[in-house]
Amino acid sequence: MSDFTSNFWNLYIAILTIAGIIFCIWLLVAVGKREQKSSDSSHVWDGDLTELNNQLPGWWRWMFWGLLIFSIGYLVYFPGLGSFKGTGDWTQIKQFDEEMTALQAKTKPTYDSYLAMAAEDLSKNKNAMETAGRIFSNECARCHGSDAGGGAGFPSLKSGDAMSWGGDVAAIKQSITEGRTGVMTPMGEAVGGAPGVKAVVAYMRSLSGLSHDEGLMAQGGKLFEDNCAACHGADGKGVKEMGAPNLTDNIWVYGGSEAAMTKVVELGKNSNLAQGDFAMPAYKGVLSQAQIHLLTAYVWGKSHK
């Protein structure tokens, strides 16, 4: 790794660049001193077409000189010679910050007007939602999908019921601002191993009307009451304040198959990337308050057509 962080490559680039400019200057001077010479008979074609070693046109040589002078001035003002930063103190980061500052100053009045509106009303503003849609595409679509329909491990934003922490305006804004980290305790050992997990899954499936083993449902209900009701509620409808999802609505972020549900009950979910779990990142340091408000209205509108 030290080969890439040493000063060798800076010097290599600087020397190669300067050598290239010097070579172009030498070539232009050397060619400019040549005199026109008549060709011998071997360079005469069709009896009267004679090939001569003519000078380059003057306009072309002056254009070449102009480009060389420009390139030297460019490398003096801008960074381009290895680690030399240039006399103009220009950096791409500095230019980006300046352009972003100018853009924010230009858009501030519009964003301020959006921020003053209630999210429910803002969701009906066509221009605002077009802006919010672009923010969503940049920041949220890679997880929740371009249509906000979600996917395996990512909740759909088209239904407030699919949002474990709630689909009202306050809950959505809190999720976007502070992020969310879901924790589902591994229950395999607590419910008695594989047989207990199978019974709990049978009971869970019965809550949402899915096919299940009737013979295991009573046992699973007792295990659920003893081990799961504290988070998901005695009726299985979840507790929004804890992020415990509703188990009766047939909405399953990690899949509604028996195998998928068995895996969740046995191993749990704790936003561990190694297990394929994902956390909702906080955007309070990424997006402005007005942008978060726009996204809140956008997501709320998706589930309140």
Residue-wise pLDDT for 159-182, tens only, equals 877 788 888 999 999 999 999 887
With bands split at pLDDT 50, 70 and 90, how would you rate the model's confidence at 75? very high
pLDDT recorded at residue 136: 96
Task: Report yes or no on 142 lying in a domain.
Answer: yes
Asked whether residue 103 falls in the same domain as residue 246, the answer is no
Number of separate domains in the chain? 3
Q: Which residue has the higher pLDDT, 301 or 269?
A: 301
Asked whether residue 203 falls in the same domain as residue 269, the answer is yes
Q: What is the pLDDT of residues 232-264, one digit of tens each?
A: 999 999 888 888 889 998 888 888 899 999 999
Helix (H) or strand (E) run with residue 49 in it: strand 49-50
* Domain span including residue 171: 97-178+283-302
Provide the CB-side half-sphere exposure for 265 (13 A, CA).
31
Radius of gyration of the chain (CA): 34
Asked whether residue 114 falls in the same domain as residue 249, the answer is no
Q: Could you tell me the CA-to-CA distances from 272 to 165, 182, 257, 268 in Å, in that order?
A: 19, 10, 21, 10
pTM of this prediction exceeds 0.85: no
Task: Report yes or no on 287 lying in a domain.
Answer: yes
Do residues 25 and 48 make contact, with C-beta atoms less than 8 angstroms apart? no
Domain containing residue 236: CATH number: 1.10.760.10
Tokens of 69: 């002078």
Q: Which residue has the higher pLDDT, 203 or 159?
A: 203
Q: How far apart are CA 134 and CA 121, in angstroms?
A: 19
Asked whether residue 112 falls in the same domain as residue 84, the answer is no
The tokens 């008979």 sit on which residue?
41
Task: Report yes or no on 294 lying in a domain.
Answer: yes
Asked whether residue 74 falls in the same domain as residue 145, the answer is no
Asked whether residue 212 falls in the same domain as residue 257, the answer is yes
- The mean pLDDT of the chain is 87
Task: Report yes or no on 45 lying in a domain.
Answer: no
Task: Report yes or no on 27 lying in a domain.
Answer: yes
Asked whether residue 124 falls in the same domain as residue 201, the answer is no
Do residues 253 and 245 make contact, with C-beta atoms less than 8 angstroms apart? yes
Q: How far apart are CA 237 and CA 164, in angstroms?
A: 10
Tokens of 274: 């190694």
Least confident of 42-51, 172-181, 290-299: 42-51
Q: What is the pLDDT of residues 112-152, one digit of tens each?
A: 999 999 999 999 999 999 999 999 999 999 989 999 988 88
Task: Report yes or no on 29 lying in a domain.
Answer: yes
Most confident of the ranges 24-28, 83-87, 132-136: 132-136
Least confident of 64-73, 200-209, 266-275, 292-301: 266-275
Of 119, 57, 97, 149, which Cα lies nearest the Cα of 301? 119
Positive/negative CA dihedral, 238, 189, 155, 299: positive
pLDDT recorded at residue 4: 55
Q: How far apart are CA 124 and CA 121, in angstroms?
A: 6
Tell me which of 42, 71, 90 is where a domain ends.
Answer: 90
Count CB atoms within 10 A of the CB of residue 249.
Answer: 16
Q: How far apart are CA 236 and CA 244, in angstroms?
A: 9
Task: Report yes or no on 46 lying in a domain.
Answer: no
Q: What is the pLDDT of residues 224-234, one digit of tens each?
A: 999 999 999 99
Residue 25 has pLDDT above 90, yes or no: yes
Asked whether residue 22 falls in the same domain as residue 153, the answer is no
With bands split at pLDDT 50, 70 and 90, how would you rate the model's confidence at 1? very low
Asked whether residue 145 falls in the same domain as residue 292, the answer is yes
Residue 9 has pLDDT above 90, yes or no: no
Asked whether residue 243 falls in the same domain as residue 224, the answer is yes
With bands split at pLDDT 50, 70 and 90, how would you rate the model's confidence at 271? low
Task: Report yes or no on 221 lying in a domain.
Answer: yes
Tokens of 129: 């939602």
Residue 73 has pLDDT above 60, yes or no: yes
Asked whether residue 19 falls in the same domain as residue 149, the answer is no
DSSP state of 187: -
Asked whether residue 231 falls in the same domain as residue 259, the answer is yes
- H helical segments located in 80-228: 92-115, 119-122, 126-139, 141-144, 169-178, 194-207, 214-227
